[in-house]
Structure 1
Amino acid sequence: MKNLKELFEIAKASMEQQKDFVFVTVIASSGSTPRGAGSRMLVLPDGTSFGTIGGGSVEHTSVLEAQKALTEKKSSCRAYRLRENQAADLGMICGGDVSLYFQYISWENQDFYQLCSRLLADWNKNENSWLLLDITEETAWQSGYYQENSGLWGLSLSNPAPLLKPNAAQAVLDGRRYYSEPLVRKGMVYIFGGGHVAQELVPLLTHLEFSCTVFDDREHFSSPRLFPAAAKCITGDFTRLSDYFEITPEDYVCIMTRGHQYDYLVQQQVLKTPAKYIGVMGSKRKKAIIREKLLHDGFTPEELARITTPIGLNIQAETPSEIAVSIAGELIQIRAKNG
């Protein structure tokens, strides 16, 4: 399954190869459906698809509908009922309704090509950004892109603020109907220690739309060659973290260095930041030793309660890849709760 950034990379590459395509987007859903609003797949003329809107019959039917849109060179909206024995039923038993938009994109559409180029260039800036679509006219959607620091690109709106929701949504503004979807959510995952778990964790988190910074004092373990998916790789001094970055309330911290002393040094510093999450990998004995040192430093039990250790959800994980899954699950949970 492709993540959102990869879909826009495929879209840009398809246009460069002079291939039309269709974006199929779930713009509304209710009841029990396979995927919620914001789920998307890209379909090429030969029926090849990337991404998913939930699989099964609805996805198969949508690929056929997308190929029809490519033949007719026209966008459209379709609604499906995912219940048995009803009109427009697709043979699924989820029990819900889903509205899909089939957005036809010609390879000659320079506005959309520029949108993809700008969006991808800005992706790793760690700024909140949204995809905005004017869906007033079903056959001619207009696409825009909003970034907190750079503002609006591609649409003419005096004040897009009412559209900037934490989740995919539709809204009416100035008499026109819009669909908005978060693209990048501000918040960096700082991973201290580039060992085996980090090597499994970074590509997984990146696939889940998290941005990752890997920090280690050993060049080999903080190298872009080892972590090609990371937004940043930093080789630095564990005693001077603030020299390299500033941790904000939107950021996550995962501590998995090669030893007690380094874990302690990192915890000692990040406890003074407003990080949203602090997780530490290690045993009960390691936790107890470092806790005593931090209490001796003057940290209160309430402050130490911010630390999650052992890190990750309790899924009986043992291998580095399993531990990475447990950590990713916990970060997904926290992101969902906090929006």
Structure 2
Amino acid sequence: MLDIAQELNRWLEEGRDFAVATVVAVGGSAPRDPGAALAVDTEGTAIGSVSGGCVEGAVYELCEQALQDGRPVRERFGYSDDDAFAVGLTCGGTVEVLVTPVRAGNADREILATALATAAQGDATAVVRIARGPADRLGHALTVRPDGQYTGTLGGPPRLDRLAAAEARALLDTGRTGSVEVSENGSNCPGGLTLFIESSVPPPRMIVFGAIDFAAALVRAGKFLGYRVTVCDARPVFATAARFPEADEIVVDWPDRYLRGTETDARTVLCVLTHDAKFDVPLLAEALRMPVAYVGAMGSRRTHADRELRLREAGLGDGELARLRSPIGLDLGARTPEETALSIAAEIVATRRGGSGAPLTETESPIHRDTAEHVRLAVA
């Protein structure tokens, strides 16, 4: 639901009633991840998607029905020889959706409105809903802030709301969406209730060091992937908005000094395109000691060998050097800046999702990863 927060927030501001179908569990080769949503208003307008087309029609009808009777519903779709091209998933996976009516007078409307408005502004928030449990509590919701404070109730004892908020905060810390099983009395013991927790966090950062022609193409690729992109270079003549109009931020500073002072997290990707030792070595010495998602550096294999030697002299060990992706990118035979940017972006995605980078025709592993029905994180 939060993936279409801007559109749903606009609908709420306009006073529209709607129903939203959210993917709460997937299995096998499902086309969309948990959290993907399709919403339908009273005029029949639809936004979003839960399956990329396979079951959209059936889910649309579920939304219309929920709008009419005001009752949430959970439905499972999977492959069937009889209805594969009607309401089944032709890819062979399964997807479960929770359909929640958001109508004037609903107890949870204001709760969801708060979360949608927060997410639409780009601020962090989480929504917890009962995705499996007693019919009269299905869809009950509460919203959780990064500090763990929450509004709303799941309709059980207060300890259930506190547990749900703690679970949501743990997921929110890492920007993840998933399900947890708890008891109706608010204990961690599985049984009775399945809580679906959606997290919305600000976009992850991509920092591109080196204001060269390849950087402009990488900025565009980073924006396409949903990153907030910064370009940093110590040379003011090259680090200009005119050269990088699509970057969110242009910084003129020594790369290592900027990296030490800027905010990064476990989702941040760092792309070093300077291939100049006086910039690269102090920058990479900082970067490879930081808990970021990806560190890649441009340069030939000879440049990499020299760079690695210098980094060892700077005190980095085997474990830190093993994190360095250099030469940067996957082997696509890239030549142009755009092709090179594509190879770098592909490596970033493969690193994030655990992909091999091999052609799918040569692999037997699942096409879609991270599709476990339940994500369990320890409560902080």
- Report TM bin, short chain: 0.7 to 0.9
2:189 is matched with none
Residues 275, 299 of structure 2: 8 Å contact kept? no
Residues 30, 97 of structure 1: 8 Å contact kept? yes
What are the superposed Cα offsets for residues 87-131 of structure 1, whole Å, 9 maximum, x if unpaired? Answer: 9962543234332112222367333222212234453x6xxx533
Q: 1:31 Cα deviation (Å)?
A: 3.7
What is the TM-score when the length of structure 2 is the normalising length?
Answer: 0.70
Return the match for 1:130 from 126, 130, 150: 126
1:263 is matched with 280
What are the superposed Cα offsets for residues 202-238 of structure 1, whole Å, 9 maximum, x if unpaired? Answer: 31231xxx554443344874659956674x6544332
What are the superposed Cα offsets for residues 46-71 of structure 1, whole Å, 9 maximum, x if unpaired? Answer: 44433322223411221233233334
Segment drifting more, 277-286 vs 181-190: 181-190
2:115 is matched with 115
Equivalent residues in 2 for 1:171-320, closer than 5 Å: 171-175=181-185, 176-184=193-201, 188-194=205-211, 195-206=215-226, 210-217=227-234, 218=236, 221=239, 223=241, 226=244, 230=248, 234-242=251-259, 244-245=261-262, 247-248=264-265, 251-257=268-274, 261-300=278-317, 303-320=320-337
Aligned equivalents of 1:15, 1:179: Cα separation in 2 = 22
Q: 1:308 Cα deviation (Å)?
A: 0.5
Residues 210, 272 of structure 2: 8 Å contact kept? yes
Return the match for 2:162 from 158, 163, 167: 158
Q: 1:11 Cα deviation (Å)?
A: 0.7
Equivalent AA in structure 1 for residue 200 of structure 2? L
- Partner SS for 2:328: coil
Equivalent AA in structure 1 for residue 149 of structure 2? G
Residues 81, 88 of structure 1: 8 Å contact kept? no
Residues 255, 263 of structure 1: 8 Å contact kept? yes
Residues 81, 89 of structure 1: 8 Å contact kept? no
Return the match for 2:30 from 28, 33, 40: 33
Residues 214, 222 of structure 1: 8 Å contact kept? no
Equivalent AA in structure 2 for residue 184 of structure 1? V
Aligned equivalents of 2:351, 2:84: Cα separation in 1 = 39
Aligned equivalents of 2:274, 2:304: Cα separation in 1 = 13
Equivalent AA in structure 1 for residue 139 of structure 2? W
Q: 1:250 Cα deviation (Å)?
A: 5.3
Residues 15, 106 of structure 1: 8 Å contact kept? no
What is the TM-score when the length of structure 1 is the normalising length?
Answer: 0.77
Residues 218, 338 of structure 2: 8 Å contact kept? no
Residues 74, 104 of structure 1: 8 Å contact kept? yes
Residues 216, 222 of structure 1: 8 Å contact kept? no
1:144 is matched with 142
Q: Measured at CA, do residues 321 and 20 of structure 1 come closer, stay the same or move farther in structure 2, by a change above 3 Å?
A: farther
State percent identity of aligned pairs.
23
Q: Measured at CA, do residues 184 and 237 of structure 1 come closer, stay the same or move farther in structure 2, by a change above 3 Å?
A: same
- Partner SS for 1:94: coil
Residues 317, 326 of structure 1: 8 Å contact kept? yes
Equivalent AA in structure 2 for residue 144 of structure 1? L
Residues 297, 325 of structure 2: 8 Å contact kept? yes
Residues 131, 182 of structure 1: 8 Å contact kept? yes
Equivalent AA in structure 2 for residue 142 of structure 1? H
Q: Measured at CA, do residues 224 and 78 of structure 1 come closer, stay the same or move farther in structure 2, by a change above 3 Å?
A: farther
1:169 is matched with 179
Residues 45, 70 of structure 1: 8 Å contact kept? yes
Count of residues in Structure 1 that have an aligned counterpart in Structure 2? 328
Aligned equivalents of 1:86, 1:302: Cα separation in 2 = 52
Aligned equivalents of 1:12, 1:229: Cα separation in 2 = 26
Q: 1:240 Cα deviation (Å)?
A: 1.6
**2:75 equivalent to 1:75:** no
Aligned equivalents of 1:49, 1:204: Cα separation in 2 = 24
2:48 is matched with 51
Which consecutive unaligned segments of at least 5 residues does structure 2 have? 186-192, 355-368, 371-380
**2:102 equivalent to 1:105:** yes
Aligned equivalents of 1:114, 1:21: Cα separation in 2 = 16
Equivalent AA in structure 2 for residue 180 of structure 1? I
Residues 219, 247 of structure 2: 8 Å contact kept? no
1:90 is matched with 87
- Partner SS for 1:159: helix
Which structure's relative contact order is higher, taking Cα pairs within 8 Å and 6+ residues apart? 2
